[in-house]
Amino acid sequence: MDNSWIVKQSAFKEADIGKYESLFSLGNGNLGLRGNLEERESTYRKGTYINGFYETEPIQYGEWAYGYPEENQKIIPLPEGKLFEFYAEGKQFSTADGTDHSRILNMKEGHMIRTFKWKVRNGLVITVSITRMVSFVVPSMAVQILRFKFDGNINSLRVVSSLETQKQSQDPLHKDPRAGSLSGADSLKKIKSFRDGLMDVCGYKTKRSNLVLAAGMDHLLLSGEYTAAEYRQKEGGSSFVFDFTDPEEDIVLVKFLSYRQGDNSDTAIALCRADLASAGEQGVDYLKMEQIRYLRKFWEKSDVKLPRNEELQKVLRLNLFHLVQSSGKNGKTSVAAKGLSGDGYDGHYFWDSEIYVVPFFQFTSPEIARSLLLYRYSILDKARERAQELSHKGALFPWRTINGREASAYFPAGTAQYHINADIAYSINRYLESTDDLDFLVTAGFEILVETARFWYDLGNFIPSKNGAFCIHEVTGPDEYSALVNNNFYTNIMAKDNFQAAVKWYDWLKKNDYSSFMDITKSLKIQKDERAHWETAAQKMYLPFNEEYGIFPQDDSFLDRPVWDIKNTPSDKFPLLLHFHPLTIYRFQVLKQADVVMALFLQWNKISFEKKKRSFDYYEKITTGDSSLSAAIQGVIALELGYVQKGYEYFLKTLTMDYDDVNGNVKDGIHTASMGGSWILVVYGFAGMRVGDNLLHFSPHLPLEIEQISFRIQYKKMQLEITLEQDFITFLLLSGKSLNLSVNKSIIELFRGEKSVMAISK
Ligand code: BGC
């Protein structure tokens, strides 16, 4: 097997436990299995999750104020079905007894294989291999295949297979606000169970959020014969104890797991039973084949090929693999900041989904992008309620959430990040542009554009002292090291875009689909003057520019603050958020992450090269990159400006954020945004792709370190392959009749099957 398809851990080190639990998590967007070992010991944090399955918890405030969210939502670590105990001749295996330990994540076939040897005594060595897989085709199912090979005669082997809730909470001294903290055992109440042969299914209800889930296991012996299989119930779950006496052949035991939600425990249990029964009938090979088939299609559309660079190739694939593993695909869930790999950030969804993850899917698997955006539609009513609660019109999406309610307890870096509304609107608008998915426009997209535009119109004001410009006050932009400012440049320019998108699609519907237009206008009670309001607010949007520096100030007061001395801040004081009070940080010019620079990227065609250059040069020096979201965007703009070497360094940083644990917190879960960011950096950075005026634009900048890189994108139902080399960019239209592109500002026409090679000017 080509090494660029696998990630291998060859030795087991205590210090790396948490990191590999996250990196080796397996998921399908619905079910996620963190990569904790089968043993109960040797773990940083066990985890099995269902995307969107959460418990609520009252938020305790020392001082309460009106409009503070009252409840947090937390993704629940579900009953663990990965757990096993092994006993050979009465002696229990513990991780330290193993030698030749390895784990191999296979991204082509979608599974992980762990192997180790266990020297039980002189003359007896057992080789254990365990394959773990979370199915992409049956989203509620996972499977484990255990194989025991004996070198020497063995009298007895006992395998205990369990499914049980975990009582684990975060170390109270662990003060990182980015880590998760819920204990599964304290959140789930067992209500009912069902057992049949080697199958056991249990129904649970959450104590506060009243959600119901059933978790079930079933077993199948493919080789060997057990002398006894005993069922045992214990606190929090159950086990099957398999005893093998004098085994003569290899033992191969399959364990199927199913996790299902339902309106009540009977339905959830019935669904689990049906899953387990059909998996047993179809057999494990069927699930494996379907997995390969699913991934073959996925990689065909989504792979980014970096020939001759195996190491980077592998990491890039790892990132894309985690994106498809993490993203909800049912229109009711999104992608948590940590995917389904850990409970960091409590499993919340942020703007990360729309700005960092949706672009990848929009251009490779548009149906997944659609379902991520549909999730926002599914919570639109709650966003409307939240806007009302804060005395505003329209809808305000929560800064962080699972169920649609705001779950951010610290409003300066939470609710005040109103830009989430514009980020969602932006993402919808871009999705519509590249897919022409008018059904989505009519059934969901337009409604969100209207409600978010309404919100902005209500939030901002035409301020006489600013010549009647439309200003937005008391907001926090993407950079969380400044808070509650007036006229954050990013927020204003994105709100302007939000208004323009609402106007654009309003006019489009009126002209092209009058009956839907009338239906929606009626149901949303769009008043006659609203469209004009949005247009005027967009025209008059306040977008300050500082002539002296030639840059866009991040906000009204930003340039009046002293500059934080990043160079002389000891490296152990980063991230600043863990070492300084927020007020200390807010008082300085210092950035956690790209803010104006993010605007330069997203609003690429509204800002001149010169202004971009000056702004980037200015902000780069004061950006700490404490947020994993920063590097990708800094990199894209560096490349656009021709700082190719710098762009490459940012690429390496965002690419390896998790693989090399750059920020030191991958143990709490992967960073889906920076993983999406690595794709963004290839496509928008190296290839310089932009979309605008109904056209794809390319303006490549390939660092010398990369000989060749190629990827595919879907655009308006056509598929295009792009290959970058040092001196050339090659386009190949794989489906669709013909397509016009702009390459370094000249238009070329592509025809299906014909290659177009363009020289890259340096
Ligand atoms: C960043 C946010 C991001 C969140 C979740 C924070 O550290 O500042 O922009 O949405 O992490 O990834």
Distance 352 CA to ligand 1 centre (A): 7
pLDDT bucket at 184, cuts 50 / 70 / 90 = confident
Q: Residue 180 pLDDT more than 80?
A: no
Angle at 551 (CA atoms; ends 545, 557), nearest 5 degrees: 65
Q: What is the pLDDT of residue 185?
A: 75
Domain range enclosing 26: 7-58+68-300
Query: Strand ranges (DSSP E) for 82-179?
Result: 84-88, 91-92, 98-106, 111-121, 124-134, 141-151, 156-164
Are 9 and 24 in contact by the 8 Å Cβ rule? The answer is yes
| Domain C-terminal end among 627, 654, 670 | 627
Q: Measure 709 CA to ligand 1 centroid, in angstroms.
A: 29
Pocket test for ligand 1, best of 352, 491, 591, 598 (most atoms within 8 A of CB): 352
Query: Within a domain: residue 737?
Result: no
Q: In what helix (H) or strand (E) does residue 241 lie, and over which residues does it extend? A: strand 237-245
Structural domain count, the chain: 2
Q: Which residues line ligand 1 (CB under 6 A)?
A: 337, 345, 350-352, 478, 480, 592-593, 627, 629, 673
DSSP category for residue 377: H
pLDDT, mean of residues 159-188: 78
**Cα dihedral across residues 12, 347, 361, 329: positive or negative:** positive
Catalytic site residues?
Answer: 480
Terminal Cα-to-Cα distance of the chain (whole angstroms): 37
pLDDT for the residue 214: 98
Q: What is the pLDDT of residues 490-524, one digit of tens each?
A: 999 999 999 999 999 999 999 999 999 999 999 99
Same domain for 222 and 95, yes or no, is yes
Q: Does 162 reside within a domain?
A: yes
Question: Are 169 and 183 within 8 A, CB to CB?
Answer: yes
Per-residue pLDDT tens digits for 464-496: 999 999 999 999 999 999 999 999 999 999 999
Q: In what order do the strands lie in the sheet with 695-698?
A: 690-692, 695-698, 738-743, 746-751
Judged against a pLDDT cut of 60, whether residue 194 lies above it is answered with yes
Average pLDDT for 413-424: 98
Nearest Cα residue to 392 out of 301, 453, 462, 309:
453
Find the mean pLDDT for residues 283-296. 98
| Residue where one domain finishes, among candidates 597, 627, 657 | 627
Q: Is 718 within the bounds of a domain?
A: no
Mutate to test the pocket of ligand 1, among 585, 627, 657 (most ligand atoms within 8 A of CB): 627
List the structure tokens of 321.
């693999």
CA of 627 to the centre of ligand 1 (A): 6
Q: Does 442 reside within a domain?
A: yes
Is pLDDT at 463 greater than 80 in this prediction?
Answer: yes
Burial degree of 177 (CB within 10 A; 0-12, 13-18, 19+) = exposed
Q: Which CATH number is 16's domain given?
A: 2.70.98.40
Give the percent of the chain with pLDDT over 70: 99
In a domain, 754, yes or no: no
- Determine the Cα–Cα distance for residues 34 and 176; give it in Å rounded to an integer: 20
Percent residues over pLDDT 90 in the chain:
95
Mean pLDDT, residues 244-263: 97
pLDDT digits (tens, 9 = 90+) for 21-50: 999 999 999 999 999 999 998 899 999 999
pLDDT attached to residue 174: 57
Distance CA 290, CA 710 (A): 27
Same domain, 471 and 598: yes
pLDDT for residue 327 is more than 90: yes
Residue 663 is assigned to a structural domain of this protein = no
- pLDDT at 171 > cutoff 80: no
Q: What is the pLDDT of residues 68-122, one digit of tens each?
A: 999 999 999 999 999 999 999 999 999 999 999 999 999 999 999 999 999 999 9
Q: Which pLDDT score is estimated for 344? A: 95
Distance CA 466, CA 181 (A): 46
Q: Does residue 308 sit within a domain?
A: no
Ligand 1: atom nearest CA of 479 is 8
pLDDT digits (tens, 9 = 90+) for 644-698: 999 999 999 999 999 999 999 999 999 999 999 999 999 999 999 999 999 999 9
pTM for the structure as a whole: 0.97
Q: Ligand 1: distance of its center to the CA of 629 in Å?
A: 7
pLDDT the model gives residue 235: 85
Cα–Cα distance measured from residue 323 to residue 672, given in angstroms and rounded to the nearest whole number:
6
Determine the Cα–Cα distance for residues 397 and 395; give it in Å rounded to an integer: 6
Buried b (16+ CB within 10 A) or exposed e, 228-262: eeeeeeeebbbbbbbebeebeeebbbbbbbbbbbb
Domain membership of residue 333 (yes or no) is: no
- Whether residues 296 and 408 share a domain: the answer is no
* 672 CA: nearest ligand 1 atom: 12
Domain boundary among 275, 300, 325: 300
What CATH number corresponds to the domain at position 439? 1.50.10.10
Distances (CA, A) of 669 to 215, 473, 637, 643, 740: 23, 34, 27, 32, 41
Nearest CA to ligand 1 atom 7: 627
Mutating to test ligand 1, I would choose from 480, 624, 626, 663 the residue with most ligand atoms within 8 A of its C-beta, which is: 480
What is the per-residue pLDDT for 169? 65
- pLDDT at residue 158, as a whole number: 98
Output DSSP code: residue 60: P
One domain for residues 166 and 294: yes
The per-residue pLDDT of the chain, averaged, comes to: 96
